[in-house]
Amino acid sequence: QVQLVESGGGLVQAGGSLRLSCVASGRTFWRYAMGWFRQAPGKERDFVTGISWSGRNTFYADSVKGRFTISRDNAKNTVYLQMNSLKPEDSAVYYCATEGTPYGLGLRNDKYENWGQGTQVTVSS
């Protein structure tokens, strides 16, 4: 019922920044918490950050806390991931996702049911 399209990935040097965007369509975006996940080759897909439906609550993996910021603009059906101080270990395909039930918080262990195709982030040393 929802389509998610990520953009903004690319190649950046360590210490640099990227801003990812995720544009949603197909259902009432503002009702749903959103998350960003990432997956490196041969690795499990890991939670990076989540944001509640209202935008008032955010959660971050320890590995990105203080460097990444999630935000949303419900009027634009868009979630952003601002990534600063990037490290080579941040290299991965980044995916955005919506939770499967409305009015969620965006917690790490919540159920995310709708996924985008991902955007590649590569950080060189």
30 confidence band (pLDDT: 50, 70, 90): confident
Strand order in the sheet with 18-25: 3-7, 18-25, 78-83, 68-73
The reported pLDDT for the residue numbered 95 is: 98
pLDDT, one tens digit per residue, over 43-100 is 999 999 999 999 999 999 999 999 999 999 988 999 999 999 999 999 999 999 999 9
Query: Does the pLDDT at position 1 exceed 90?
Result: no
Strand 34-39 relative to strand 46-51, pairing: antiparallel
Which residue is associated with the tokens 């950080």? Answer: 123
Mean pLDDT, the chain, whole residue set: 95
The rounded distance, in Å, linking the Cα atoms of 114 and 72 is: 17
Q: Kindly state the average pLDDT of the residues 2-11.
A: 95
Q: The tokens of 101 are what?
A: 């039930």
